[in-house]
Amino acid sequence: MSIKLYNTMSRRPEEFKSIEDNKVSMYCCGPTVYNYAHIGNLRTYIFEDILHRTLQHAGYDVKHVMNITDVGHLTGDGDDGEDKLNKRAKETGKSVWDIAQFYTDAFFKDESHLNIVRPNIVCKATDHIQDMIELIKKLEANGHTYVSGGNVYFSIDTIDDYGKLAGLRLDDLKEGARIEVDSNKKNPKDFVLWFTNSKFKDQAMVWPSPWGVGYPGWHIECSAMSSKYLGDHFDIHCGGIDAIPVHHTNEIAQSEAASGKKPWVNYWCHGEFLLNDKGKMSKSSGEFLTLSVLESKGYDALDYRYFCLSGHYRSQLKFSFEALDHAKSARESLVKRVAELKNSSVCDLGQKAQDYKNQFFAAMENDLMAPQALAVLWSMLKDKDVTDGEKLALVLEMDQILGLRLDEVKPLSETKDDIPEDVKALALKRAQAKKEKNFALADEIRNTLKDMGYIVKDTPQGPVLERV
């Protein structure tokens, strides 16, 4: 297996080599659950799912961990954001815990409609506060922290390679920092590990700690949970590109300073943004679309998945209903074609079919070139030199990565819902007669059905009605 992945750390595509043979350890930053995920967020999770499936198809045993940020999440680098969970709780009159649970459930409903494989481990920040405290204690013992104004800060001047992921230069950082000034900080890019003195005095989620009652900063959860489940050196870390300059930069600083080992992660993979007319789709702008809005307009969640597959994950993708309509009709044609093919039986691949297979998986294994892979799939389906049985075998294998539920498509004969009720009733009666070994009656009904214009085929999946 030879997989190439673009590594944000080296800024180039690299040959993927796992730390352990045939195994991949992968951590993906999960959702903040103070609101519905928008379709931009979901684009990132679809990219991560495609990566997971591609690695799995290539023969790796993938251990995929994702967190749920259910603790107050600040938008800024220090104490300069707003706690969105708290804000949402006040707006709705519900508890922060209820808000977090509600949006976590909504997120997994979207993921299942999108046929996203559930990560092997889904971990909530609020279940791992003690792990975060232990990590901060380690950083404190290693001399990377200071307490100021009641909060514990990470001192970026105690490490010599801060900002390497984003290619940030420390001189520029000091001068050009555009963040709200926190006079407690020694360096404007220092960040909070533990708050006891937040500007929000009505924080609902707080825990005791060696530094006082408070709550964690917004980067420590990913460092703590990833190392708990994957160790202090693992293969792949994913997220959206907005995580590069602050969140992932700070995760690296903390994790490498705590363990003393470098690199913490071998491959950093980031998905580009989904755009709308005004630019990046974002929760804070308030102008965003959810999957359920698309579904209420008559789209299938898989139309959106197909739409995402039509762009490369490292390119920006502009959303429009016109583009979604194209994806919908392409996906529906694919489903129709597969329904026709399902009247054939899968068979072994000849040379031509094998070439298509190689091209498809080579595209996916080359930094997940899904648009090219889809083009190969369509060429293959149109090729008269490939038999229907080969096509069916190929399309089902390709769908192990595409995830368009093509395995669930019914053969065309079964999907015809224009079969009259009396014909269906007779077919059922025949099935019952066969079950009771009343073959004479079963044959008589078969003949009646034939006279009515239908033949019954007994398949391993049960009897199937087809027009004569």
Pattern of binders to ligand AMP over 38-77, x per CB under 6 A? --xx-xx---------------------------------
Pattern of binders to ligand AMP over 261-300, x per CB under 6 A? ----------x-xx-----xxxx-----------------
Closer to ligand AMP by CB, 43 or 144: give it: 43
Least distance (Å) between residue 45 CB and Zn ion: 13
DSSP 262-306: S-SEEEEEEEPPEEETTEE--STTS----HHHHHHTT--HHHHHH
- Cα separation, 72 vs 194, whole angstroms: 12
Per-residue b/e over 74-91, b at no fewer than 16 CB within 10 Å? beebbbebebbbbebbee
Of 111-119, 156-164, 221-229, 358-366, the segment contacting Zn ion by CB under 5 A is 221-229
Residues ≥6 apart with Cβ < 8 Å to 383:
352, 356
Least distance (Å) between residue 52 CB and ligand AMP: 15
- Cα separation, 199 vs 201, whole angstroms: 6
Of 77-85, 134-142, 219-227, 235-243, the segment contacting ligand AMP by CB under 6 A is 235-243
Tokens of 130: 């003690």
Interface residue with ligand AMP, options 80, 82, 232, 242 (CB under 6 A): 242
Q: Is 165 in the site for Zn ion (CB under 5 A)?
A: no
Pattern of binders to Zn ion over 4-33, x per CB under 5 A? -------------------------x----
- The Cα-based distances of 225 to 215, 271, 383 in angstroms read 16, 21, 49
Contact 230, 111 (CB under 8 A): no
Q: Which does 41 bind (CB under 5 to 8 A by kind): Zn ion, ligand AMP, none?
A: ligand AMP
Contact 281, 272 (CB under 8 A): no
Interface residue with Zn ion, options 71, 222, 404, 433 (CB under 5 A): 222
* Terminal Cα-to-Cα distance of the chain (whole angstroms): 48
Least distance (Å) between residue 84 CB and ligand AMP: 9
Q: Which does 434 bind (CB under 5 to 8 A by kind): ligand AMP, Zn ion, none?
A: none
Of residues 28 through 87, those in contact with Zn ion by CB under 5 A are 29
Residues ≥6 apart with Cβ < 8 Å to 424:
465
Contact 104, 70 (CB under 8 A): yes
Cis peptide before 263 (omega within 30 of 0): yes
Interface residue with ligand AMP, options 8, 24, 26, 31 (CB under 6 A): 31
Q: Which does 233 bind (CB under 5 to 8 A by kind): Zn ion, ligand AMP, none?
A: none
The closest alpha carbon to 373, from 323, 312, 426, belongs to 312
Helices (H), 342-468: 351-365, 370-382, 388-402, 412-415, 421-435, 439-451
* Count of residues that bind ligand AMP according to CB under 6 A: 18
Of 42-50, 208-216, 219-227, 310-318, the segment contacting Zn ion by CB under 5 A is 219-227
- The Cα-based distances of 317 to 81, 266, 320 in angstroms read 28, 27, 10
Interface residue with ligand AMP, options 72, 81, 240, 403 (CB under 6 A): 240
- Interacting residues with ligand AMP (CB under 6 A): 29, 31-32, 40-41, 43-44, 239-240, 242-243, 271, 273-274, 280-283
